[in-house]
């Protein structure tokens, strides 16, 4: 695998990012759309991709970083092996999804958009995942947990920790 080779990873990111960039003209207005594509592809915006975008659109790195940090949907941190996404859409919010999010943050000792140091967990927030009838909802990677409770979320996290220890 490429993982041990930093240069190889850099090269791959460079190549793949430029493939995405080819779909866009060099207009600065394309920045958000490009960032969306990169975020979708990697689950975060790698530094190397920021460099390629900066060169392509002739936008300073600081400006790109400013845009990434302004929008909560963008992150510069890779997601954890288990990404906990709490739905903060209206139906889930009124049914208490805020307390799910708060408990996840407290339990894992990270903020939304961050990843634990061991790379096991990350947390983010979603807007309506289309399962409003099951509100409140949280997801762990692609798995949806409906009618969720704080207790259930704690249990799911504890089960993952236990599984990973074995």
Residues that bind ligand FES (CB under 6 A): 87, 89-92, 128-132, 135, 137
Of 68 and 92, CB closest to ligand FES: 92
Of 89 and 113, CB closest to ligand FES: 89
Of 90 and 147, CB closest to ligand FES: 90
Of 74 and 145, CB closest to ligand FES: 145
- Nearest approach, Cβ of 138 to ligand FES (angstroms)? 9
d(CA 42, CA 63): 21
Which string of DSSP letters, residue by residue, matches 63-74? HHHHHHHHSTT-
Residue nearest to ligand FES (CB): 89
Two tokens at 95? 């049914």
- Nearest approach, Cβ of 125 to ligand FES (angstroms)? 11
User: What is the pairing mode between strands 82-87 and 121-126?
Assistant: parallel
- Nearest approach, Cβ of 129 to ligand FES (angstroms)? 5
Closest CA to 31 of 3, 8, 1, 63: 63
First to last CA, the chain: 24
């Amino acid at each position: 695998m490429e993982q041990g080779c930093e240069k190889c990873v850099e090269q791959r990111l460079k190549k793949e990012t430029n493939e995405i960039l080819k779909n866009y003209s060099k207009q600065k207005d394309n920045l958000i759309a490009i960032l969306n594509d990169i975020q979708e592809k990697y689950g975060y915006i790698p530094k190397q991709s920021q460099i390629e975008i900066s060169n392509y659109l002739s936008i300073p790195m600081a400006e790109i970083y400013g845009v990434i940090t302004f929008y909560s949907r963008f992150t510069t941190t890779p997601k954890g092996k288990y990404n906990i996404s709490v739905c903060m859409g209206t139906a889930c919010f009124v049914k208490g999804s805020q307390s799910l999010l708060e408990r996840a943050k407290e339990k894992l000792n990270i903020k939304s958009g961050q990843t634990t140091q061991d790379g096991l967990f990350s947390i983010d927030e979603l807007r309506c995942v289309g399962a409003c009838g099951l509100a409140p909802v949280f997801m762990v990677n692609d798995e949806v947990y409906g009618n969720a409770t704080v207790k259930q979320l704690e249990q799911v996290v504890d089960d993952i920790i236990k599984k990973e220890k074995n």
